């Protein structure tokens, strides 16, 4: 099931060919390297956008990250736990 | 020839995304793949199932079922909240893919659209070819599947897409419509709900074929004016247009322009840009099945003075070769002076939807202009498959600030 987290996280991002790709983030004192972005979408919050990234790490753990364009801040929204 | 099967009828495609919300959830979270996913909230919530994966359907779960009932049927199901932003975004992505193939795209809901492919299907190798190209693009780019029905009207196209899911493709040419419809139970007809079906069944009307051959006055008596319409629908009648969200039908011209990073009067650079712009404009015309016969050139000089010139042809065109020839002629006749140029624009006006006959002509004509059309066709097909930048004209390499047009 999904578990809501909603904690600020630091994210290393690659900007390449007009695309924004998170590649690594720090959460709970550990660095998590992103193996694959499994989905991305945007939503409008008033005049600014939140960009969402569904990602998995090398152990296939799922994380949903959100980037708030207005506040230039990242949040870990939720994780998948069995 | 496939064209003869369609007898100059419209060719309408219906695209129905398979278990759309659940499929998106399974795509983005690999842990959900292969599991019964039920979208709509928690088992305790008072809501209903928005959609569910095919694995959940095997347990008897379906859309609009109360969540509690879904939990009773499928206690091991994965229950997830609805995520409107995510689904809307993916829906727009699907529309963007469809609009690459035809400008006549009408979304009917977040996961269903009609596409009029009458003027474009032949360039993708026929109805089967265009459907498979769209299914592949959706699968490759979004990681989900769609079922497609193709028929002479919306009603039959929608029923065709529903008849083979998931990941189905059903093509019903005009002369197979009755055969396709008539053997189906009457409740399969779009617009016939359970109550209407029960009323029809009580009158001995079990199949769509029974309905098609029923007396109109009798059905009018049962259902009012709708009764008569039902008979028409059962016969596969229908000719409503696909109402495009991409409203190029009202557009008067198609154009592109570019402002140089630095004002220039270098003739090689200017000619390379004219070629690039002509290619872009012709590509867009062909992409949407249009052609035009007024070619316009726009030049803004370094002092911001603006020159526009137009040339009307006697015949319609959609080729880069024609557009480039006349823009180049207009450039040298009117504008080539020492003063550097800031911006160039090329457009084609007086546009119309291309008729199918034009395609037939160039397939059998080997004149130089038709050869150019065949080159365009090859370039188009490469771009459809590998992206816009996969092939271009060598001369455009002389244009130095290519990153920005």
Alpha carbon distance B325, B369 (integer Å): 12
Contacts of B86 in chain A (CB under 8 A): 39, 41, 52
Cross-strand bridge partners of residue B200: none
Which among A17, A24, A50, A21 has a CA at the least distance from the CA of A38?
A21
pLDDT of residue B362: 45
pLDDT of residue B400: 59
Task: For residue B99, give Cα distances in angstroms to B135, B289, B322.
Answer: 13, 12, 25
- CATH code where residue B370 lies: 3.30.1490.100
Per DSSP, B298 falls in state: E
Are residues B146 and B260 located together in one domain of the fold? no
pLDDT, tens only, B32-68:
999 999 999 889 887 789 999 999 999 999 998 989 9
CB B49 within 8 A of CB B62: yes
Alpha carbon distance B316, B314 (integer Å): 7
**Residue B403 scores a pLDDT above 50:** no
How many other CB atoms sit within 10 Å of the CB of residue B214? 20
Q: How many domains does chain B have?
A: 3
For residue B85, give the nearest of A1, A43, A56 by CB distance: A43
Which are the contacts of B368, defined by CB distance < 8 A and separation ≥ 6?
none
pLDDT of residue B401: 54
Q: Which of residues 230-249 of B touch A (CB under 8 A)?
A: none
Task: For residue B162, give Cα distances in angstroms to B171, B197, B277, B395.
Answer: 12, 18, 42, 49
pLDDT of residue B363: 43
pLDDT of residue B405: 37
Specify if B244 maps to a domain: no
Q: How far is B18 from chain A (nearest CA, A)?
A: 17
Instruction: Search chain B and give the residue with CA nearest A38.
Output: B28
Domain end position, chosen among B135, B158, B175: B175
Is B28 touching A (CB cutoff 8 A)?
yes
Does B31 sit within 8 Å of A60, measured CB to CB? yes
pLDDT, tens only, B316-341:
888 898 999 999 999 988 766 667 88
Alpha carbon distance B74, B53 (integer Å): 12
Annotated active-site residue B112? The verdict is yes
What would the 3-class secondary structure string for A24-73 be?
EEEECCEEEEEEEEEEEEEEEECCEEEEEEEEEECCCCEEEEEEECCCCE
For residue A38, give the nearest of B29, B80, B89 by CB distance: B29
Alpha carbon distance B216, B232 (integer Å): 9
Per DSSP, B66 falls in state: B
Higher pLDDT, B216 or B143: B143
Are residues B294 and B371 located together in one domain of the fold? yes
pLDDT of residue B246: 55
Higher pLDDT, A19 or A23: A23
**Residue B247 scores a pLDDT above 80:** no
First to last CA, chain A: 6
Does A38 sit within 8 Å of B78, measured CB to CB? no
pLDDT, tens only, B181-193:
999 999 999 878 8
Specify if B240 maps to a domain: no
Is A60 touching B (CB cutoff 8 A)?
yes
How many other CB atoms sit within 10 Å of the CB of residue B335? 18
What average pLDDT does the segment B3-22 reach?
91
pLDDT of residue B361: 46
What average pLDDT does the segment B304-311 reach?
85
Supply the ipTM of this predicted assembly: 0.93
- CATH code where residue B125 lies: 3.30.70.270
Are residues B23 and B137 located together in one domain of the fold? yes
pLDDT of residue B345: 92
Q: How far is A68 from chain B (nearest CA, A)?
A: 15
Are residues B137 and B169 located together in one domain of the fold? yes
Specify if B405 maps to a domain: no
pLDDT of residue B164: 95
CB B273 within 8 A of CB B300: no
Which position among B25, B112, B291, B384 bears the catalytic label?
B112
Which among B309, B305, B310 has a CA at the least distance from the CA of B341?
B305
pLDDT of residue B265: 86
pTM: predicted TM-score of the whole model, two decimal places: 0.67
For residue B89, give the nearest of A42, A60, A80 by CB distance: A42
What average pLDDT does the segment B337-358 reach?
79
Are residues B115 and B197 located together in one domain of the fold? no
Q: For chain B, give the mean pLDDT.
A: 86
Q: Which of B11-20, B54-63, B126-135, B264-273 bottoms out in mean pLDDT, i.e. has the lowest? A: B264-273
For residue A41, give the nearest of B78, B80, B86 by CB distance: B86
What average pLDDT does the segment A42-58 reach?
87
- CATH code where residue B194 lies: 1.10.150.20
What average pLDDT does the segment B296-304 reach?
85
Are residues B292 and B377 located together in one domain of the fold? yes
Specify if B82 maps to a domain: yes
Task: For residue B56, give Cα distances in angstroms to B60, B62, B77, B163, B188.
Answer: 7, 8, 7, 19, 23
Which among B120, B165, B154, B181 has a CA at the least distance from the CA of B20?
B165
Does B80 sit within 8 Å of A2, measured CB to CB? yes
pLDDT, tens only, A20-49:
999 999 999 999 999 999 999 998 776 678
- Helix boundaries (H) for B61-153: 67-73, 84-101, 127-142
Specify if B132 maps to a domain: yes
Are residues B1 and B37 located together in one domain of the fold? yes
Domain end position, chosen among B158, B175, B192: B175
Are residues B333 and B220 located together in one domain of the fold? no
Distance of CA B194 to the CA centre of its chain: 32
Specify if B380 maps to a domain: yes
Q: Which of A51-60, B96-105, B123-132 bottoms out in mean pLDDT, i.e. has the lowest? A: B96-105
Alpha carbon distance A80, A71 (integer Å): 26
Task: For residue B396, give Cα distances in angstroms to B94, B269, B272, B278, B284.
Answer: 32, 8, 5, 11, 18
Are residues B165 and B20 located together in one domain of the fold? yes
Are residues B54 and B143 located together in one domain of the fold? yes
Are residues B360 and B343 located together in one domain of the fold? yes
Question: Which residue, chain included where needed, has tokens 């359907």?
Answer: B57
What average pLDDT does the segment B15-39 reach?
97
φ/ψ of residue B281, rounded to 5: -65, -45
A75, two tokens: 């949040």
| Domain around B18 | 1-175
pLDDT, tens only, B193-211:
888 899 999 989 999 999 9
Specify if B239 maps to a domain: no
Output the DSSP codes for B248-281.
Answer: GGG--EEEEEEEEEEEE--HHHHHHHHHHHHHHH
Specify if B67 maps to a domain: yes
φ/ψ of residue B350, rounded to 5: 55, 50
Q: Which of B151-165, B225-239, B243-257, B340-354 bottoms out in mean pLDDT, i.e. has the lowest? A: B243-257
Alpha carbon distance B69, A47 (integer Å): 40
Alpha carbon distance B317, B293 (integer Å): 6
Question: Which residue, chain included where needed, has tokens 């220039």?
Answer: B264
Is A10 touching B (CB cutoff 8 A)?
no
Are residues B313 and B388 located together in one domain of the fold? yes
Alpha carbon distance B14, A12 (integer Å): 42
**Residue B404 scores a pLDDT above 50:** no
Task: For residue B113, give Cα distances in angstroms to A10, A71, B92, B156, B247.
Answer: 40, 37, 11, 14, 15
């Amino acid at each position: 099931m999904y578990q809501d987290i909603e904690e600020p996280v630091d994210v290393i991002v690659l900007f390449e060919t007009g695309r924004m790709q998170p590649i690594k983030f720090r959460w709970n004192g550990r660095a998590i390297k992103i193996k694959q972005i499994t989905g991305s979408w945007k939503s409008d919050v008033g005049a600014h956008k939140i960009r969402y990234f569904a990602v998995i790490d090398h152990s296939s753990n799922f994380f949903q990250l959100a980037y708030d364009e207005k506040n230039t801040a990242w949040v870990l929204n939720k994780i998948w736990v069995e | 020839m496939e064209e003869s099967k369609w007898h100059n009828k419209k060719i309408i495609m219906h695209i129905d995304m398979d278990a759309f919300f659940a499929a998106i959830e399974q795509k983005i979270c690999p842990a959900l793949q292969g599991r019964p996913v039920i979208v709509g909230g928690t088992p305790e919530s008072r809501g209903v199932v928005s959609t569910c994966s095919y694995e959940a359907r095997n347990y008897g779960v379906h859309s609009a079922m109360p969540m509690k009932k879904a939990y009773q049927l499928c206690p091991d199901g994965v229950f997830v909240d609805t995520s409107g932003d995510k689904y809307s975004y993916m829906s727009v992505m699907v529309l963007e893919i469809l609009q690459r193939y035809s400008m006549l795209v009408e979304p009917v809901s977040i996961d269903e659209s009609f596409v009029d492919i009458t003027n474009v299907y032949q360039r993708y190798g026929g109805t089967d070819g265009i459907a498979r190209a769209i299914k592949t693009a959706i699968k490759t780019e979004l990681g989900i599947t769609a079922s497609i029905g193709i028929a002479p009207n919306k009603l039959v196209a929608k029923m065709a897409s529903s008849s083979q899911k998931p990941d189905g493709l059903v093509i019903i040419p005009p002369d197979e419509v009755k055969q396709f419809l008539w053997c189906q139970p009457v409740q399969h007809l779009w617009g016939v709900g359970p109550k209407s079906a029960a009323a029809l069944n009580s009158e001995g009307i079990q199949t769509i074929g029974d309905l098609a051959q029923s007396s109109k006055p009798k059905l009018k008596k049962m259902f009012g004016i709708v009764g008569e319409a039902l008979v028409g629908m059962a016969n596969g009648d229908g000719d409503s247009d696909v109402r495009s969200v991409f409203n190029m039908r009202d557009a008067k011209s198609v154009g592109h322009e570019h402002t140089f990073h630095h004002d220039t009067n270098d003739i090689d650079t200017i000619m390379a840009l004219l070629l690039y712009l002509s290619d872009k404009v012709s590509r867009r015309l062909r992409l949407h099945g249009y052609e035009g016969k007024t070619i316009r050139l726009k030049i803004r000089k370094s002092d911001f003075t603006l020159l526009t010139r137009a040339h009307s042809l006697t015949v319609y065109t959609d080729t880069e070769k024609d557009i480039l020839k006349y823009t180049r002629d207009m450039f040298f006749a009117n504008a080539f002076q020492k003063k550097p140029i800031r911006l160039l624009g090329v457009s084609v006006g007086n546009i119309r939807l291309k008729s199918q006959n034009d395609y037939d002509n160039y397939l059998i004509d080997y004149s130089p202009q038709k050869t150019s059309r065949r080159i365009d066709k090859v370039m188009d097909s490469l771009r459809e498959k590998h992206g816009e930048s996969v092939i271009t004209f060598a001369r455009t390499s002389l244009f130095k600030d290519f990153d920005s047009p």
